[in-house]
Amino acid sequence: MNENCTSCAEVKENAKKLDAIIKKYKDIRGALIPVLHEAQELYGYLPLEVQRTIAQKLNIPLAEVYGVVSFYTQFSINPKGKYRINVCMGTACYVKGANEILDKFKTRLSIDVGECTEDGKYSLDACRCIGACGLAPVVTVNDEVFGKLIADDVDKIVDKFDEL
């Protein structure tokens, strides 16, 4: 079986799963956000084609779906990496050098905020505050928290996940 057949089968399977998610919520008021959450779990992000399908099957305008996706930071229209790096840019973190840490991640990974490395291993984001101000500046990689960082710590963090 060639690679295209495998991905074609995966696309069809995901479409069936998305249909099931939408059917589960279709008659529930306020269904959009739970549908988007489950769709993002399924796809890893919310590409326009998925948003369009959700809009059509929930009978709501695509602009409304996109408006919700673009408003809430937990939704993403870009693919995310296996390791999702999030640099806190809240006041405490920013004052203590989060910007330098973010710049170091951009340089080390050769990506910008909102992007994913070509191999799909890392994605980089910046957030307003993760609520760990006592550990400022803070970075999360998936669910792991790294605090009291300096820019020189970035290489150690990336090296740790490169070894996994």
For position 152, which CATH number holds? 3.40.30.10
Do the Cβ atoms of 105 and 154 come closer than 8 Å?
yes
Does some domain include residue 52?
A: yes
3-class SS at 157? helix
Asked if 119 and 161 count as a contact pair (C-beta separation under 8 A), the reply is no
| Domain end among 34, 51, 71 | 71
Residue 78 within a domain: no
For residue 1, pLDDT over 50 is answered with: no
Range of 42's domain?
3-71
Q: Single out the residue in 16, 43, 71 at which a domain terminates.
A: 71
| Residue 152: strand, helix, or coil | coil
| Cα separation values, 106 from 42, 138, 155, Å | 27, 16, 11
Report yes or no on whether pTM surpasses 0.75: no
Contact (Cβ atoms closer than 8 angstroms) between residue 21 and residue 33: no
pLDDT band at 3 (very low <50, low <70, confident <90, very high): very low
Distances (CA, A) of 130 to 22, 59, 73, 85, 134: 31, 35, 12, 13, 11
- Quick check: 5 pLDDT over 70? no
Same domain, 29 and 58: yes
What is the total count of domains within the chain? 2
Give the residue among 45, 27, 34, 117 at the shortest CA–CA distance from 81. 117
Residues 63, 102 within the same domain? no
The pLDDT tens digits for 71-123 are 987 899 988 999 999 999 999 999 999 999 999 999 999 999 999 999 999 99
Q: Which of 42, 71, 100 is the last residue of a domain?
A: 71
pLDDT at 6: 52
**Considering the domain boundaries, does residue 76 fall inside one?**
no
Supply the pLDDT for residue 2. 43
Residues 8-55: pLDDT tens digits? 888 889 999 999 999 999 889 999 999 999 999 999 899 999 999 999
- pLDDT at residue 64 greater than cutoff 90: yes
Cα 42 to its chain centre, rounded Å, is 12
